[in-house]
Amino acid sequence: MTELPEITDSHCHLDFPDFEGRLDKVVADAAAAGVTRMVTICTRLRLEPSVRAIAEMHDRVFYAAGTHPMSAADEPMATVKQLTDLARHPKMVGIGETGLDYHYTADSAARQQESLRIHIAAARETGLPLIIHARDADDDMARILTEEYRNGAYACVMHCFSSTATLARAALDLDFYLSMSGIAAFPKSQELRDIFAAAPLDRILVETDAPYLAPPPHRGKRNEPAFVAHTARKGAEVFGLEYAEFAARTQANFDRLFAKAAAYEANAR
């Protein structure tokens, strides 16, 4: 039997109720699909202990922590110290997700922007990559990311990227990464696939955002880390590569951006 190429789900939410009581199987199913690493994302800092516990229980699961922009109005404002203190954990490998979402929560735009700048400062101080959620806020997002980069460089991934070519270019001009989710595999997402195709291959990651946004052939069902392989196969088509080559390139990209995770694995061998 041919061994499957290894791939990483760079963004999922394993602490969500959808996976309760099933985590061992979810992780095993992912491994069977070649998905050997996952980054599970904490979206409310008060829930960080439970997200951290998942990473501690599973060798190939890492985690990130931050305040999701849609929760910014309901949660205590994070502090740089709070985030940098959490980042001391050996398996916390990213800051966020943070960002701007004006689709449903435009009324909290000012608070979202304040939270975003705090997370950027923490990413800059820790050297960990910033994980950005952007929805219907492209102009403010590009402006803040660029302003803050001028104040001091930091690394960043535009998670579940499904915004405009303009925001993609702004992010890429800062040497940030774009992450492909199941949306990029939807039949009607050709415009989005064209945006990815125009990006440098060494700036591409893949993710599920599980339990959301399952790619075909699982669209409409609960998404799982194993399904990132379907998105990656579509990504290989977009870049005109064999699946094994695309998987290897995105693995190298993940190792470069999430260097703390790569170092942890190297030390564990």
Question: Residue positions in the annotated binding site?
Answer: 11, 13, 97, 133, 159, 209
Q: What is the mean pLDDT of residues 185-200?
A: 97
pLDDT band at 1 (very low <50, low <70, confident <90, very high): very low
pLDDT band at 7 (very low <50, low <70, confident <90, very high): very high
Taking only the tens place, the pLDDT of each residue in 96-134 is: 999 999 999 999 999 999 999 999 999 999 999 999 999
Neighbours of 69 (CB within 10 A): 29
269: pLDDT confidence band, cut at 50, 70 and 90? confident
Backbone angles phi, psi at 217, to 5 degrees: -90, 15
Q: How many secondary structure helices (H) and strands (E) does the chain include? A: 10, 8
Numbered residues of the known binding site for a divalent metal cation: 11, 13, 97, 133, 159, 209
CA–CA separation, 81 vs 234, rounded Å?
Answer: 40
Q: What is the pLDDT of residue 2?
A: 57
Residue 179 — pLDDT band, cuts 50, 70, 90? very high
Mean pLDDT of 209-217: 97
The tens digit of pLDDT for each residue in 19-48 reads 999 999 999 999 999 999 999 999 999 999
Sequence ranges of the domains in the chain: 7-262
Residues 69-79: pLDDT tens digits?
A: 999 999 999 99
* Three-class secondary structure of residue 207 per DSSP: coil
- State residue 237's pLDDT score: 98
CATH topology for the 7-262 domain: TIM Barrel (3.20.20)
User: How far is it, in rounded angstroms, from Cα 20 to Cα 230?
Assistant: 24
Q: Kindly state the average pLDDT of the residues 234-263.
A: 98
